[in-house]
Amino acid sequence: MHKNTKIKIAIFVLLVGMACMFTAVVTDHWAVLSPQVHKVNETCEAAHFGLWRLCKKHIYIHSENFREGQSCGPISLPGEENCTYFRHFTPGQDAEIFEYKTQKEYNISAAAISIFSLIFSILGSLCLLGSCTGKGKGRHYLLKPAGMFFAFAGLCAFISLEVMRQSVKRMIESEDTVWIKYYYSWSFACACSGFVLLFLTGIALLIISMPQMPRNPWETCMDAEPEQGE
């Protein structure tokens, strides 16, 4: 396979990874929390949240859907929804989330690191653009920093995922919370996909941009045959 073909495939995969990560950052379905339902024909309150917003949904539990010990939901059931933004960067105020105080640093860290992931993706895209519009044998030089930027973007996405996972775990384990069950939703899956695609393809792009290794031990890099993609 020619080098240019490999680069085109890598660029396509990176575009998909960036789309997944951007979707995860701007949506509010990273995790879904549910309290236990004690009575039939009553309204319970489930919640889903992302990096910036918490949405609480009032769901009416009918008698035909009620089971002993079940949790509120599923979140896809119809109900009145109310969304509020987290006060991440308001100084001097505690984050009153899910009816008890959580560690504000978790939410700030996950949101900030995800922004770094997007910034690295933008820098990598600029390097790719410069490589595609350049001319001559040196036009692939920008592929090396592009691969590094995309690998860093994937790494930041992974850190943001882990911080969010630890945050949800602390919420559920707290004695002050009413939530008994949780699961990670499609926004979290988008972030996972973005991490895998950006990190692995960034490393692959970095390897592709490296000079071709000599085929024989007595050859030096300067004596090696020219690359097919040039």
User: Is residue 187 a part of any domain in this protein?
Assistant: yes
Give the structural domain span for 166: 3-209
| Token code pair at residue 71 | 């949790």
User: Is residue 222 a part of any domain in this protein?
Assistant: no
pLDDT, residue 95, reads 44
pTM of the predicted model as reported, rounded to 2 decimal places: 0.78
CA-based nearest residue to 222, from 164, 213, 230: 213
pLDDT, residue 100, reads 40
Query: For 113-125, how does the pLDDT look when each residue is reduced to its tens digit (9 = 90+)?
Result: 999 999 999 999 9
User: Is residue 86 a part of any domain in this protein?
Assistant: yes
The whole-angstrom separation of Cα 59 and Cα 32 is 14
Percent of the chain predicted with pLDDT > 70: 71
pLDDT, residue 54, reads 82
The whole-angstrom separation of Cα 103 and Cα 88 is 11
User: Is residue 197 a part of any domain in this protein?
Assistant: yes
Query: For 72-126, how does the pLDDT look when each residue is reduced to its tens digit (9 = 90+)?
Result: 767 777 777 888 777 654 444 444 444 444 556 677 888 889 999 999 999 999 9
Query: For 37-84, how does the pLDDT look when each residue is reduced to its tens digit (9 = 90+)?
Result: 767 667 778 888 888 888 888 877 766 655 666 667 677 777 778 887
Map tokens 């490589």 to a residue.
131
CA distances from 33 to 1, 41, 50, 96, 106 (A): 48, 20, 12, 16, 17
User: Is residue 228 a part of any domain in this protein?
Assistant: no
Instruction: Tell which wins on pLDDT, 230 or 167.
Output: 167
User: Is residue 150 a part of any domain in this protein?
Assistant: yes
User: Is residue 216 a part of any domain in this protein?
Assistant: no
User: Is residue 220 a part of any domain in this protein?
Assistant: no
pLDDT, residue 52, reads 85
Number of domains in the chain: 1
Helix (H) or strand (E) holding 56: strand 53-61
Q: What is the CATH number of the domain that holds 176?
A: 1.20.140.150
Query: For 15-29, how does the pLDDT look when each residue is reduced to its tens digit (9 = 90+)?
Result: 999 999 999 999 988
Mean pLDDT of 158-183: 81
